[in-house]
Amino acid sequence: MTEDIEKYRRWIQGDNREYAKGIYFLGKGIIQELGKKKGAALIIRQIEEMSINSGMRFRKALEEQGLNNSLKNFFKAFGTGDSIVNFAWVYDVKKFVDDEIVVEYSYCPVAEGFKRLGQEAVEIGELHCNHADNSIMQGYNPDYECKRESSLNLDGLCRLHWKKKQ
């Protein structure tokens, strides 16, 4: 059984590294075509649109289960083991209360995917990672925000801080 679990974990991690590769090559082409400033702005706009859509789909899935779009319901899978994040990422929950959650990631297959492709990919990856989680939250519940307080590839630890907006 353990061999099957590791095989599945490697598959999910590889799939997420490939996701990073797709973001990188699209981003690289956009920057080559539009230049760094305009290209980065377009990449950010599209990452935000894609992520907001993901958050809205997640909210709808919870509503179909009769659940509200609270922050705790957003993270429900962390405690149950039902999430691919719980399965394929390495993280530590530092704070988990009604309106605030802090998570530190020491391994992320998406960040690893960018890192494997080199410095240019890490730079494009930062555009993605700086905007994706907050945008997902905006689609899920715009009363909350997610601030990225550190970067796995730049700082050695990715710290995300979700909380109710003031």
pLDDT tens string, the chain, 166 residues long: the values are 578 888 888 888 889 999 999 999 999 999 999 999 999 999 999 999 999 999 999 899 889 989 999 998 888 755 555 666 777 889 999 999 889 999 999 999 999 999 999 999 999 999 999 999 999 999 999 999 999 999 999 999 999 999 999 8
Dihedral (C-alpha) 93, 70, 56, 109: value to the nearest 10 degrees?
A: 10
The domain spans of the chain are 2-164
- Domain 2-164 falls in which CATH fold? Muramoyl-pentapeptide Carboxypeptidase; domain 2 (3.30.1380)
Would you state the structure tokens that stand for residue 103, as one six-digit string?
Answer: 């998570």
pTM for the full model? 0.90
C-alpha distances (whole Å) from 162 to each of 23, 70, 96, 137 are 24, 12, 10, 9
Taking the C-alpha atoms of residue 8 and residue 67, their distance in angstroms, rounded to an integer, is 29
